[in-house]
Amino acid sequence: MDVALKIWRFDPQTGERELKQYEVDAPEWACLLDVLDIVKDQVDGTLAYRKSCRMMICGSCGMRVDGGAVLACKERMKPYADAGHVPVVSAMGNLPVLKDLVVDMDPFWSKMRAMKPWLEPGYREPEEGKEFHVSEAEVNVISKESLCINCGCCVSECNSMESDPEFLGPAALAKGMRFVGDARDQQAVERLESYNSEHGIWDCTRCYFCQERCPKGVDPRDAIAKLGAESIKYGIDRDMGAKHAKWFVTSAKTTGWLRETELVPKTQGVVSSIKEMKFAMSLARRGKVPPPVPPHVAKDVKEARALYNIVKSQGVHGAAGIVQGEKALSRIEFIEEQAKREGGTE
Ligand code: SF4
Ligand code: SF4
Ligand code: FES
């Protein structure tokens, strides 16, 4: 097949950037990495990019296609060729570009190191025999996080990191959850204390771009949510983000709606509320503040309360609660899809 693509080249010697178009003949099964190899072999040997395994496992070949991060060895080129679209290939975002499609991964690795990505089992001895026994339910809490291949695609698309390069970021925090949630690890509280500091978990804007772009299904945003839930479970709730999360729960179980008018006084205190009064008044004048009395109560709030009470009585707190919720949602989706399929075959 005929494949055309544009590549943002960067020459570190001159500091110049240039968008260059290449057209090559490639087999129909070719992925982006194969096409880059053909360009390098047959057209321009100076093109720089990283690769190793060619099978989506080493994490070396992260780059952007049309502005979104992908693994070059996972991205099929046939759909582009069939559509007559010329994709624009560039280096990953949020990391300094060294040459063409090669980025400096040092900031990525230093954040990974800050997570202390190794087990700290303490001096605990296995209870019986020679091994620690970890149940399936315990493994489920970190099964997605364990799939990370350190490719950096999530970091490339992270909104928070773009505005604050010091933000720990989705990859490092997913790695953090992999160890916080490990039943054998004895340092969960110490780890959570450090992830709750400045540039930590509560600085995530929940844009979900990391989740959308991760090629391995790690779901880093979910990992950050689990770290938040674990922090609150251990009473680490000094950050404003944690206080907001707790107020969301209180709102949901009392009225079924987020009681925004009470959010600032309940989480930031009276002094902050007075400072925000002028802003609140201007919102009220534009009809954007619902009257606090009588409280707006959702029609099915009893269901929300019953659900809260069931989950509470089961004692499934923190990350385990999130995993239980994910499983319940996927079961509902499965049943709905099955019903649609059966409806369609009748
Ligand atoms: S959800 Fe959070 S961590 Fe993920 S990309 Fe958005 S800001 Fe970054
Ligand atoms: S979380 Fe996903 S996108 Fe991020 S580094 Fe790991 S595998 Fe890559
Ligand atoms: S070359 Fe290893 S993940 Fe693409």
Check whether 346 has a pLDDT greater than 60: no
pLDDT in tens, 46-93: 999 999 999 999 999 999 999 999 999 999 999 999 999 999 999 999
CA of residue 302 to ligand 1 center, whole Å: 33
Q: Does the pLDDT at position 328 exceed 90?
A: no
How close is the Cα of 124 to the center of ligand 1, in Å?
Answer: 36
Q: Tell me, rounded to whole angstroms, the distance of Cα 125 from its chain centroid.
A: 35
Q: Whose CA is nearest to atom 2 of ligand 1?
A: 204
User: Could you identify the atom of ligand 3 that is nearest to the CA of residue 59?
Assistant: 3
pTM, two decimal places = 0.88
Distances (CA, A) of 87 to 22, 29, 78, 103, 251: 11, 17, 12, 20, 46
How confident is the model over 133-167, as pLDDT tens digits? 889 989 999 999 999 999 999 999 999 999 999 99
Choose between 29 and 327: higher pLDDT: 29
Ligand 2 atom closest to 217 (CA): 2
Cα(151) to centroid(ligand 3), Å? 8
Residue 228 has pLDDT above 70, yes or no: yes
CA 303 – ligand 1 centroid, Å: 31
Encode pLDDT of 174-212 as tens digits. 999 999 999 989 999 999 999 999 999 999 999 999 999
CA distance 1 to 34: 13
Query: Residue 128 to residues 65, 121, 183, 185: CA-CA distances in angstroms?
Result: 52, 16, 16, 18
Average pLDDT over residues 273-282: 78
Dihedral angle computed from the Cα positions of residues 215, 218, 223 and 225, in that order, rounded to the nearest 10 degrees:
60
Quote the DSSP letter at residue 324: H
HSE toward the beta carbon, residue 81, CA cutoff 13 A: 20
Unique residue bearing structure tokens 């321009």: 44
Q: CA end-to-end span of the chain, whole Å? A: 41
Mean pLDDT of the chain: 91
